[in-house]
């Protein structure tokens, strides 16, 4: 709690945790301590500090989703993932900051209740969005596990910018019941952690069918076989090099070296070409905008003047999506999934950079109304949309740093339900990264 207070009293406040309650935290901590004294911890997560994105229901906090107008009453029922964390004995330290309504990739949120979260590696840079506070909390040492939601990279982008591991599971693998369904067909709840092993542990605790979430009722059992295999022999990793190279030079250099390392560990690198990538990106945005407008239309009409500039812009644009566009989008989704099925018949994974650039710098004007910068948005999300649009699992893992010390990540995507392969490859990416730089802003809560 002292660290959370200190993080918001700094000259450049981190703004990681936006709602927390001292009494709640102490009550959970005392209960966990008693269980350990009696040698009956509930799980490996018993007593472990965690936070959840403000888009997810957590009693007794407000589910504001980064706004000033949603969640006027406190939550009375936990989301499924929140309940699972409580049953595991996790110590919920509060709810984390986010880009308003999850509509942006920077984490810029200038409204009066939130403020813009800042990157612990350099507080003058963005942490990424929309699960910005969750990534900041883990990177700065406030907690080792945080949950976010990923509708278009919103777990993976902040994990990439903050030097962390972020998982977007197969669509439906982790229940999103209790999360605001602004974009329900591309939404995944996922963990952000400092290591692949921690991410895999969180995944095993959170994944599985939920009667309250119909999209994930039918799914195969969890498999984590081979995660700690000494090599990658037998795995085929695909790279569309034209797509892969659509990034900054420092990102490309690091990620290319990471691919070569995976090859040296026994993996076979297969050149592929993913067709219709531009169409996929356009179709993703149509899906995102149509569902956002369907869910937010009334709030847009009633609370327009209370929204940040980028929220106003996106929803105004979303209102123009036609039913014909939505039909064409679904046709594209069918083609894309069919194409990926063919690719995954021949390879185990697809590799890309996590993001096309490192964390962008915060501009003073952004902190007044919000940020609308198409180039920045494109650099953040270029490699994220495919996994959301097709529902396949994706993992970002830190691969190194640029000359300024900002993190660079590699992304691994696999076929539906093959998260175990992601973890296996991800652990080798961790081996490639020779060292981990401590962020400029870090709180050693254990000491």
Q: Is 154 a catalytic residue?
A: yes
The answer for residues whose C-beta is within 8 angstroms of residue 398's C-beta and 6 or more apart is 160, 163, 164, 165, 407, 408, 409, 429, 430, 433, 436
Pairwise CA distance, residues 265 & 420, whole Å: 17
Q: Is 273 a catalytic residue?
A: no
Contact at 8 Å (CB) between 51 and 24?
no
State the catalytic residue, choosing from 32, 53, 57, 160.
53
Q: How far from 344 is each of 238, 250, 287, 339, 395, CA to CA, in Å?
A: 9, 29, 24, 9, 16
Neighbours of 171 (CB within 10 A): 23
Cα dihedral 344/238/249/399 (nearest 10): 90
Pairwise CA distance, residues 327 & 69, whole Å: 32
Contact at 8 Å (CB) between 247 and 253?
no
Pairwise CA distance, residues 272 & 274, whole Å: 6
- 3-class SS string, 285-351: HHHHHHHHHHHHHHHHHHHHHHCCHHHHHHHHHHCCCCHHHHHHHHHHHHHHHHHHHHHHCCCCEEE
Element (H, E) at 53: strand 49-53
Contact at 8 Å (CB) between 271 and 350?
no
As given in the structure block, the two tokens for residue 355 are 């993001």
**Nearest C-alpha neighbor of 17 from the set 150, 106, 111, 134:** 134
As given in the structure block, the two tokens for residue 403 are 């000359």
Query: Alpha-carbon Rg of the chain, whole angstroms?
Result: 20
State the catalytic residue, choosing from 132, 154, 179, 357.
154
Q: How far from 290 is each of 183, 293, 324, CA to CA, in Å?
A: 8, 5, 11
C-alpha neighbours within 13 Å on the C-beta side of residue 72? 1
The answer for residues whose C-beta is within 8 angstroms of residue 281's C-beta and 6 or more apart is 382, 385
Helices 309-318 and 277-303 cross at an angle (nearest 10°) of 110
State the catalytic residue, choosing from 130, 132, 134, 151.
130
As given in the structure block, the two tokens for residue 7 are 């993080």
Contact at 8 Å (CB) between 418 and 428?
no
Q: Is 404 a catalytic residue?
A: no
Residue 109: φ, ψ to 5°: -150, 90
Catalytic positions are 53, 130, 154
């Amino acid at each position: 709690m002292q660290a959370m207070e200190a993080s918001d009293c700094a000259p450049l406040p981190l703004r990681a945790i936006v709602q927390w309650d001292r009494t709640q935290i102490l009550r959970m901590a005392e209960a966990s301590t008693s269980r350990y004294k009696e040698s009956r911890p509930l799980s490996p997560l018993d007593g472990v500090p965690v936070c959840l994105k403000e888009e997810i229901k957590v009693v007794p906090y407000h589910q504001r989703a980064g706004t000033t107008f949603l969640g006027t009453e406190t939550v009375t029922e936990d989301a499924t993932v929140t309940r699972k964390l409580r049953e595991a004995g996790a110590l919920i330290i509060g709810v984390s900051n986010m880009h308003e309504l999850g509509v942006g990739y920077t984490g810029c949120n200038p409204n009066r209740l939130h403020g813009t979260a800042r990157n612990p590696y350099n507080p003058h840079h963005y942490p990424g969005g929309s699960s910005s506070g969750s990534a900041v909390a883990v990177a700065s040492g406030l907690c080792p596990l945080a949950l976010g939601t990923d509708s278009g990279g919103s777990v993976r982008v902040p994990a990439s910018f903050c030097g962390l591991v972020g998982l977007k599971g197969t669509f439906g693998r982790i229940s999103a019941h209790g999360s605001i369904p602004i974009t329900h067909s591309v939404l995944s709840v996922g963990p952000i952690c400092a290591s692949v092993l921690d991410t895999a542990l969180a995944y095993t605790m959170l994944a599985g069918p939920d009667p309250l979430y119909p999209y994930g009722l039918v799914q195969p059992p969890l498999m984590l076989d081979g995660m700690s295999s000494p090599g990658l022999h037998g795995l085929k990793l695909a790279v569309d090099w034209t797509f892969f190279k659509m990034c900054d030079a420092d990102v490309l250099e690091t990620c290319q070296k990471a691919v070569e390392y995976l090859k040296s560990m026994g993996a076979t690198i297969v050149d592929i070409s993913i067709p219709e990538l531009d169409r996929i990106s356009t179709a993703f945005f149509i899906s995102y905008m149509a569902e956002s407008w369907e869910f937010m239309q009334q709030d847009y009409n009633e609370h327009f003047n209370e929204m940040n500039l980028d929220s106003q812009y996106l929803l105004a644009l979303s209102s123009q999506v036609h039913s014909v566009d939505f039909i064409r989008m679904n046709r594209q989704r069918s083609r894309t999934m069919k194409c990926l099925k063919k690719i995954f018949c021949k390879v185990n994974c697809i590799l890309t950079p996590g993001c096309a650039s490192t964390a962008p710098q915060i501009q003073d004007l952004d902190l007044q109304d919000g940020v609308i910068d198409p180039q920045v948005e494109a650099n953040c999300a270029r490699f994220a949309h495919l996994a959301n649009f097709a529902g396949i699992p994706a993992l970002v893992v830190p691969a190194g740093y640029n000359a300024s010390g900002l993190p660079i990540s590699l992304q691994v995507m696999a076929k539906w339900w093959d998260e175990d392969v992601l973890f296996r490859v991800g652990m080798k990416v961790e081996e490639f990264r020779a060292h981990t730089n401590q962020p400029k802003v870090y709180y050693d809560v254990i000491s």
